[in-house]
Amino acid sequence: MQSSIRARLIVILTCLLLGSALLQGILLSAHIGSLEALADHWFTVGWSFLLVAGLSIWVVIWIAKDLTRPIEQMTQAAQKIVAGDLGQHVFINRQDELGVLAKSFNHLAETNQRRYQEITASKAQLETVIQNTVSGIFLLDAKGTVFLSNPTAGQILGFDPIADVPDHFSRLTADPKMSQALYDAILAGQPYQQTISITVPAQRVIELHVIPLTAGDRFVAVFYDISEASRLASIRADLVANVSHELKTPVTSIHGFAETLLSDNLVPDSTGRRFVEIIYRESWRLLRLVNDLLDLSYLELDPKAIEKRPVDLTEILHDVVE
Amino acid sequence: MQSSIRARLIVILTCLLLGSALLQGILLSAHIGSLEALADHWFTVGWSFLLVAGLSIWVVIWIAKDLTRPIEQMTQAAQKIVAGDLGQHVFINRQDELGVLAKSFNHLAETNQRRYQEITASKAQLETVIQNTVSGIFLLDAKGTVFLSNPTAGQILGFDPIADVPDHFSRLTADPKMSQALYDAILAGQPYQQTISITVPAQRVIELHVIPLTAGDRFVAVFYDISEASRLASIRADLVANVSHELKTPVTSIHGFAETLLSDNLVPDSTGRRFVEIIYRESWRLLRLVNDLLDLSYLELDPKAIEKRPVDLTEILHDVVE
């Protein structure tokens, strides 16, 4: 059972008064001469004791209230702060230890509130920056748990960035390539960069960067949609391929006819023949150029098609010099 | 002057004891019969009073100590927390109001510490994400004050991201184009996107996105180095231009010689003449193709060179149909 300051004070005071009365009685009786003589006064002594005891208890209750009221005030304020109401303040204007405690308590509450507000504002600022970044961002650990993601990430990968943030990277996207790239990045354990074409939720080309954090097993993944740049690059590549194809037919035709004109001796005039020879030579040059362009286009479409084999450098240099 | 609980208790108790002694004296004297008779006992009464008073003061000092010790303990703990030592805990095991207050105080200190640690960890996580993002990021207001920037921003723009973060965007970079773009973005007041070639601290192409925040006059600027992609795009554009130039000479030459062969009647044979006519026609086709390619290259180098003027669509359609 919980005792109170009041109960404790009353018990102690009652003991003190009883002791004091007993002592006075003993001393008086010793002085008067006999306990019998004192017994004659029991009524008086008893009455006076009861009166003093009553008055004392009243005074003690008053003292106790004076002490417990500020204590209870602070207890309530502390409980309210714990419950989340940080703006608590106790109004206790005293000059004693309780007054000092109340001042310290208020100072503590204010400091805590200020600290909390400052860091909350600072955190909100960082959050705003991440929320408004045009790059998709998320933070994940080696197990693939997603701790943080931003709206852009949701837009690019097709999840609801507010209501439905997946807790694992494999559920970030229905596109297997993105999952695979993240998996590879985590396994690599070092800065990782990859350009990925995703098809879900839409046809997009994204550039993914994954940075492992120095502390712990976490990774920051940042990616942006480079579909537009990639589309332009592919248009340019297609242009080269299409133009090469477009050029090849007339060039081949010119080359063929020039060859026939020469082989069938269809140009008797020596100047005319020289002209046709020039046409033949120039068309040959064009043909090689166009073929080179076509090779380049094929390689751009499939960079793996480059056939690597040992070459004789001396032979190539001889060819060049000749 | 600061009074203490002890002093207050002593004063009150002394008054109580004096009152009690006076009352007992008055009652006794009334009972014994005369004040003179009581005066005979003054030595006894005085002694007993002094003894009781001494004992009482000792008890009161003990009570006061018992009350003020936990109060001072909590005051000190509160002051330490204010000074920054959040892990404070008071060891007060009591069943009274002070015990309840101590429990609430500890609960408050723990809750505050936990809240602070949680939000600090959460803030640190956001900070880590921003620090490790491969995009340059900063947060600025309409006046250009920089509130936040990350290491990537420093790397791209050439300021020390830790020791020397500029406080104004105009000092973020010595490159005027970047400053101008940020200035334009702030003036625009809506999502802004621009590709900028900067030359300080190095030749770089960056893509800048500036998003105005809904709350207040702040802006999140995000930019990434697209130098590599831009270099590839410009290589491709150069390739088209170079190839076109390379093609133009032989094609013009073929076209010219074929024309001369025809106009000077250098091919008497009818089949031969037909062949040269084909060569002439095909080289003409090639020439137009190459000129189109060259036009395309010029436009890519300078998109503003497109000359816009009203055209007669009917005339163009007639040409196409013919």
Which tens digits make up the pLDDT trace of B97-113?
Answer: 888 899 999 999 999 99
Higher pLDDT, B1 or A155: A155
Q: Please name the member of A1, A107, A130 whose beta carbon is closest to the beta carbon of B129.
A: A130
| Chain A CB contacts of B269 below 8 Å | 266-267
Q: Are A208 and A221 in contact (CB under 8 A)?
A: yes
pLDDT digits (tens, 9 = 90+) for B212-265: 887 668 899 998 888 888 888 888 888 888 888 888 999 999 999 999 988 988
Looking at the DSSP assignment, which residues form a beta bridge with residue A138? A149, A221
In angstroms, what separates the C-alpha of B200 from chain A's closest C-alpha? 24
Q: Are B158 and B200 in contact (CB under 8 A)?
A: yes
pLDDT at A103: 92
Measured at the alpha carbon of residue A313, what is the angle toward residues A307 and A318, in degrees to the nearest 5? 120
Nearest CA to B135 out of B196, B72, B221, B59 is that of B221
Residue A305 DSSP symbol: G
Rounded-to-integer distance, Cα A37 and Cα A44, Å: 13
pLDDT at A280: 92
pLDDT at A102: 92
| Encoded tokens for A38 | 């004192």
pLDDT at B25: 65
CATH class for the domain made up of B231-321: mainly alpha
Query: Which residue type occupies B88?
Result: Q
Measured at the alpha carbon of residue B73, what is the angle toward residues B68 and B78, in degrees to the nearest 5? 125
pLDDT at A1: 35
Measured at the alpha carbon of residue B37, what is the angle toward residues B32 and B41, in degrees to the nearest 5? 105
Q: Which residue has the tokens 């003690």?
A: A60
% of chain B beyond a pLDDT of 70: 90
Q: How many residues does chain A have?
A: 322
Asked if the ipTM is above 0.85, the reply is no
- Is a pLDDT exceeding 80 seen at residue B90? yes
Q: Are A102 and A47 in contact (CB under 8 A)?
A: no
**Domain coordinates of chain B in residue numbers?**
5-119, 137-225, 231-321
Asked if A135 lies within 8 A of B20 by C-beta distance, the reply is no
pLDDT digits (tens, 9 = 90+) for B32-55: 655 555 566 667 667 777 777 787
Environment class of residue A224 by beta-carbon count within 10 Å: exposed (0-12), middle (13-18) or buried (19+)?
Answer: buried
Q: Tell me whether A97 touches chain B (CB under 8 Å).
A: yes
| Encoded tokens for A124 | 């909100």
* HSE of B228, CA atoms in CB hemisphere, 13 A: 5
Q: Tell me whether A139 touches chain B (CB under 8 Å).
A: yes
Asked if A45 lies within 8 A of B24 by C-beta distance, the reply is yes
Rounded-to-integer distance, Cα B35 and Cα B194, Å: 108
Q: Best mutation site among A219, A275, A284 for testing chain B: the one with the most B CBs within 10 Å?
A: A275
Rounded-to-integer distance, Cα A81 and Cα B41, Å: 61
Query: Which residue type occupies A275?
Result: F
CATH class for the domain made up of A137-225: alpha beta
CATH number of A233-321: 1.10.287
Asked if A254 lies within 8 A of B283 by C-beta distance, the reply is yes
pLDDT at B2: 45
Rounded-to-integer distance, Cα B268 and Cα B266, Å: 6
Give the residue ranges of chain A where pLDDT is below 50.
1-2
| Nearest Cα residue in chain B from A121 | B123
Rounded average pLDDT over B71-91: 91
- Is a pLDDT exceeding 80 seen at residue B282? yes
Rounded average pLDDT over B169-195: 85
Higher pLDDT, A72 or B161: A72
pLDDT at B44: 67
What's the distance, Cα to Cα, between the start and end of chain A in Å?
A: 112
Asked if B258 lies within 8 A of A279 by C-beta distance, the reply is yes
